[in-house]
Amino acid sequence: MRTHLTRIHEAYLLIKDPRATRIAFLIAYLSVLQSGVAALIHPPTSIAAEIGPWLTLVWAISLTVGGLVGAASVLQGWNYVERIGVAALLTGTAIYGVVVLTLHFSSGGQRLTQAGFVAFALSMLIWRLWEIRRYLIEPRG
């Protein structure tokens, strides 16, 4: 008789290696998906005021699509699909980074902390692209 823990363990074993990395990226993709949906529903006024409603929509869609596609593909090792998600997230993150730097230099207050997090996110996304560059689908075994 199989227990719930056995089923959870069997599901865990279906995740491609390295499992811990893939689960961490799943959590990150789901987090960005939530942020993108929130930006679609109620765009931040500081972003919309700076880049306008259309580019704000592009930014929110980039985050939403990138998070959704990344989350749907990361555990299975579908690198060719995940690359599309990462490209969308790079676009959305770059748009946000430009807005943050523009606001830093054009308005009161400092935005260097936000810029640092944007730089970190861009670095992680580029690293992820580098990590999944070799195969379209992760080899079995």
- Give yes or no for residue 119 having a pLDDT over 80: yes
Concatenated DSSP letters of 61-80: HHHHHHHHHHHHHHTTT-HH
pLDDT per residue as tens digits for the range 17-35 = 889 999 999 999 999 999 9
Structural contact between residues 70 and 87, judged by C-beta atoms closer than 8 angstroms: no
User: In this predicted model, which residue has the larger pLDDT, 136 or 121?
Assistant: 121
Mean pLDDT value across the chain: 93
> What ranges do the domains of the chain cover?
4-131
